[in-house]
Amino acid sequence: MLQETYLLLDTKEQLRLAWQSEGYVQVDHLLSVEDYIRLAKCAWGKGKQVERPARYSYGLVSSVPLVSAFSGSVLSGWLGSIMGGKVRIKDVSIRHFGHGDYTLLHDAVYTAGVAQFFFIFSGMWDPAWGGGLTVHRDKASPLQVGLKGNRFFLVRSRDEWKPFVQYINHLAGKETFVLVQGTIS
C-alpha cells in the first residue's frame, strides 16, 4: 500500500526527526500509484451532506475499503515508527468537499488524541478556489497544506493548533476533493 521509499529506515528516521522538531509531517505520493487509483474509486461518492452553520459543511462519504485502509495495521505501524511508539488510529472519516463547503475553527469540534492525519484525494486544484487545509497556530503563522492528490499530512494535537478547511468559492465550479481524516491515540 505505501510507497517503498517511505518504508526505508533512513526515510522513516528523517520523518521521525521532523515530527519531533516541528510537530507535523507532510508526505507526497504516500500510496503506490495502483493503490491510490484503487482507493480513489472508493472515495468519489458525494456522500450525505452534513451541515452545521458556523461550524462545517461537507459530504460525509461511507466507504468500508477507505476506512479499513486508513485504520489498518500497515498505516498504524508506519505512523508508530515516525511518532516513536505504538499508535491506534480511530475516528476515520471521509469528507467530500465542493463549492460552498468548509470547516471552521471551533473548540467543540476537536477530539482528544496525540495527533490527527489528513489524506487528500484530488485532481488539479487551484488555490484561487479556496478549500485549502490550514492549521491555525496561536503563536506562529498558519500552516498551509496544498490540496494535492496522494498527499498525507500528520499534525500533533495541541490546544493551540486547530486544522480547518477554507470555504470553497464559486470559482471551483463542479470541482471537488476528498479528505480522509483520522485521530491517532
Per residue in 3-37, pLDDT (tens digit) is 999 999 999 999 999 999 999 999 999 999 999 99
Helix (H) or strand (E) holding 114: none
Residue 11 sits in a domain whose CATH number is 2.60.120.620
In this predicted model, which residue has the larger pLDDT, 125 or 47?
A: 125
Structural domain that includes position 162 = 4-184
pLDDT score recorded for residue 155: 94
Residue 98 near residue 92 (C-beta atoms within 8 A) = no
Cα–Cα distance for residue pair 113/96, rounded to 1 Å: 23
Percent of the chain with pLDDT over 70: 95
pLDDT score recorded for residue 30: 97
CA-wise closest residue to 101 among 60, 131, 146, 133: 131
Q: Which of 28-37, 111-120, 176-185 has the lowest mean pLDDT?
A: 111-120
Q: Which three cell numbers stand for residue 149?
A: 492528490
Please, which pLDDT band fits residue 47 given cuts at 50, 70 and 90?
confident
Domains held by the chain: number = 1
Please, which pLDDT band fits residue 98 given cuts at 50, 70 and 90?
very high
* Cβ neighbours around 59 below 10 Å, total: 19
CA distances from 86 to 70, 77, 173, 179, 183 (A): 16, 7, 42, 24, 14
Cα–Cα distance for residue pair 89/83, rounded to 1 Å: 13
